[in-house]
Amino acid sequence: MESGTISVLNELAQVYELARKLSENLHQPLQIELCRTITEEIIGSVEKAICMAKATGGSNGGGQYGDNQQKSKKRKMLPTWTRQVSASTLRGTELLHDGYTWRKYGQKDILNAKHPRAYYRCTHRKKQGCLAMKQVQRSDDNPSVLEITYIGTHTCSSMEQLQETDQSLFDERNSRALVDLQNSLRMKTEGLNFEAKDSTSLIFFPSTALNPDEDLFCSSPNLESCFLSSFSSPFMSPTTSESNCLPLSPCQKLSQGNPKADLTGIFSMATSKTNLTMTDMDFMLRTGEMDIDFPIEISNFEWNSAA
DNA sequence: CCCATTTGACCCCT
DNA sequence: AGGGGTCAAATGGG
């Protein structure tokens, strides 16, 4: 199976997990901020999945995704997507650390841009050949907003991700992080309007620690590598390839004898620890408003054990 | 010694 | 030729 397809499925499984969390908290009035946060995550993950699917399908991608694929032959096959992140805080570092480690390899002053662009690649590029990269640049309009472009998906298996094989531990940590985030948001976001952006996810965090004047591009591994790298999705399934696709690996195993495993199987297995079935996914049926212009032929998914 | 950052030079594409 | 992206030597920290 193509790694790109696995990435899409991984992302969809993540969407499902987020939606499930959202569903759990919908009936609790005090969790409204948490629901908003989760909604933002869902939007981001869906966007990412759509982008990945378009790239995997080889069709002409639209929007932000794939914009640079024709500009550089080197990276024409790598999926890209952009996020805008309001970097008004530092506190998100702990709860948004996604386990990835990035190494800065360059910085450029961009023409007609007020702020330089920083270039990062996955630390495991050499050892594991992970091609994931990202570019970080302050927005000209709002210096507190960082425009982060992700290029390629992680194929590495970082230590911290491997240590997260205990799903219950992972869920517990996420739950604590979510509650923490929720409390922070409730304190600091009163009067603010949360609006989902058209093509990007704008994530706000409480303004507590980060000095707005502080240059985000100065050397500060814990700030930069963790903070800036983490916004792709704090709860995103960390890996995307066959070799280390933890959430999907049981799916792969179980599906080997059934290459035409349907979506029910994919999701129920990808989230097997939650003991949920498709009946819990009613909300997923309301897709009438979605304009998905690429077909997903589940029957074409193949689960190859060989990498 | 290893790893990360910095930064000027170089490469590639338009 | 110019701009964006990448390389790699120098440097510093643990």
* pLDDT, tens digit (0-9, with 9 covering 90-100), for A148-192: 888 887 777 655 444 444 444 444 444 444 434 444 433 333 333
A222 touches strand B (CB under 7 A): no
* pLDDT, tens digit (0-9, with 9 covering 90-100), for A66-77: 433 333 334 556
3-state secondary structure of A203: strand
A132 touches strand C (CB under 7 A): no
A111 touches strand B (CB under 7 A): no
Query: Within 13 Å, how many C-alpha atoms sit on residue A302's CB side?
Result: 6
Residue-level pLDDT at A1: 59
A219 touches strand B (CB under 7 A): yes
Per mean pLDDT, which of A65-79, A126-140, A257-271 is the most reliable? A126-140
Of all nucleotides, the one whose C1′ comes closest to residue A102's CA is B4
User: Is the pLDDT reported for residue A116 higher than 90?
Assistant: yes
Estimate in Å the CA A170 to C1' B14 gap, whole number: 47
A117 touches strand B (CB under 7 A): no
Every domain of chain A and the residues it spans: 3-282
> What is the pLDDT averaged over residues A26-40?
75
Distance, CA of A230 to CA of A209 (rounded, Å): 17
Estimate in Å the CA A206 to C1' B3 gap, whole number: 32
pLDDT bracket for residue A51 (50, 70, 90)? low
Question: A6 is written with which tokens?
Answer: 């696995």
Q: Is A249 exposed, middle or buried (0-12, 13-18, 19+ CB in 10 A)?
A: middle
Question: A166 is written with which tokens?
Answer: 């205990």
Query: How many Cβ atoms are within 10 Å of A105's Cβ, its own excluded?
Result: 11
A217 touches strand B (CB under 7 A): yes
Residue-level pLDDT at A118: 94
Residue-level pLDDT at A45: 73
Strand C bases, protein C-beta under 7 A: 2-8
Residue-level pLDDT at A105: 95
Of all nucleotides, the one whose C1′ comes closest to residue A119's CA is C5
More confident position, A246 or A44? A44
3-state secondary structure of A124: coil
- Note whether A159 and A135 are within 8 A (CB): no
Distance, CA of A194 to CA of A187 (rounded, Å): 14
A108 touches strand C (CB under 7 A): yes
Residue-level pLDDT at A52: 65
A300 touches strand C (CB under 7 A): no
Query: How many Cβ atoms are within 10 Å of A194's Cβ, its own excluded?
Result: 14
* pLDDT, tens digit (0-9, with 9 covering 90-100), for A59-106: 333 334 443 333 333 455 677 788 777 765 444 443 334 567 899 999
Residue-level pLDDT at A4: 60
